[in-house]
Amino acid sequence: MAKQTVLVSGGAGYIGTHTAVELLATGYDVVIIDNLSNSETAAVEGVRRISGVNVPFEQVDTCDEQALRKVFERYGFDSVIHFAAFKAVGESVHEPLKYYRNNLTSFMNICALMHEFGRPNILFSSSATVYGDADTLPVTEQTPRKPATSPYGNTKQMAEDILRDCCAAYDGMYGVALRYFNPIGAHPSALIGELPRGVPQNLVPYITQTAAGIRECLSIFGNDYPTPDGTCLRDYIDIVDLAKAHVATISRMTQGRMKQRYEIFNIGTGRPVSVLELVHGFEKANGLKLNYRIVGRRAGDVPAVWADTRLANEELGWRAERPLEETLRAAWAWEKHLRKIQ
């Protein structure tokens, strides 16, 4: 059988690079497009070095319909994984139009061209943020979505709905939304990883930058939540495990194993971990001490959210495998690689 090609939009980013590596390792051809608004060409070089494949890369803005059309004319892919989006929750509150324009225009362009060119499979990067402060835990795919608390979160809900409606309307279109929980860590080669701009908003990049001496002290946002140690509970999913979930999903789509034209899967470990557990886990995994202090709650944080992963386990034949300790070692190895620390 001829090799299948997958278009990876936003493929120079954190999740895109790791996914490209896993697709290539499984035998898929990959085309990466990215406008480099939150990434660098070095990330694509990292993918090429790890895979030994000279992956095609086009600097394209997915909001630019004409430029995107040329990509469809040039490459014969059947599937797209759409990562290209802005993702800073706080910024989205202050600049909503920037988020609605980029995240929705780009996704609608992708859907429209997939339809026009008769390309069937669309995998969309959604987020556990769609569940908000859920009434029951862990959350299943049936758990009702809560009204979004940020424009970013709203773009995820809206894009899910766009995909659902397109799959219902257009014969031959298949869609999957993967709802990621908290992706962390880096590739074991330390050649690719997360590249936060400015002060990191997410926990693990803040921890690794504190360990590297770039930040003085980690602030833990609240220890008075109704959780065992008072700090928030999250479902931290290793980035390589997350990347493999995309390969499993693309295989399901390209092999005609979908049960419905539009499907949703939670991608997490199914295990809640508190902020303090993660901090202490990082210290233990890497044999170092972290400077931290407890401060007040961060607005908008939910006390706890973690995934019921049974659907993904059963239907995708996928499960998270990497032990947290290894993930936290990889996160630190990547930070050291970035900062040239021995």
In this complex, which beta carbon is closest to ligand NAD, that of residue 10 or of residue 120?
A: 10
Tokens matching residue 104:
């929705």
Helices (H), the chain: 14-26, 41-51, 65-74, 89-94, 96-99, 106-116, 151-169, 203-211, 239-254, 275-286, 310-311, 324-339
Tokens matching residue 236:
């931290």
Residue in 14, 152, 170, 174 annotated catalytic: 152
* Of 123, 132, 177, 135, the residue nearest 152 (C-alpha): 132
CB of 292 to ligand UD1, least distance (A): 9
φ/ψ of residue 305, rounded to 5: -155, 130
Site for ligand UD1 in 240-259 (CB under 6 A): none
Q: How many CB atoms lie within 10 A of CB 77?
A: 20
CB of 287 to ligand NAD, least distance (A): 27
Yes or no: say if 49 and 23 are a contact pair by the CB < 8 Å rule. no
Contact flags string 278-317 toward ligand UD1, x per CB under 6 A: --------------------x-xx----------------
Is residue 276 a contact point for ligand UD1 (CB under 6 A)? no
In the 8-state DSSP scheme, what is residue 58? Answer: E
CB of 186 to ligand UD1, least distance (A): 15
Is residue 38 a contact point for ligand UD1 (CB under 6 A)? no
CB of 301 to ligand UD1, least distance (A): 4
Distance, CA of 328 to CA of 281 (rounded, Å): 8
Q: Does residue 206 carry a catalytic annotation? A: no
Is residue 328 a contact point for ligand UD1 (CB under 6 A)? no
In this complex, which beta carbon is closest to ligand NAD, that of residue 218 or of residue 267?
A: 267
Tokens matching residue 95:
């600049």
Q: Which residues bind ligand NAD (CB under 6 A)?
A: 10, 12-16, 34-39, 61-63, 83-87, 102, 106, 125, 127, 180, 183
Q: How many CB atoms lie within 10 A of CB 294?
A: 14
Active site residues: 152
Q: Which residues of this chain interact with ligand UD1, rule CB under 6 A?
A: 89, 127, 129, 182, 201-203, 206, 218-221, 232, 234, 275, 298, 300-301
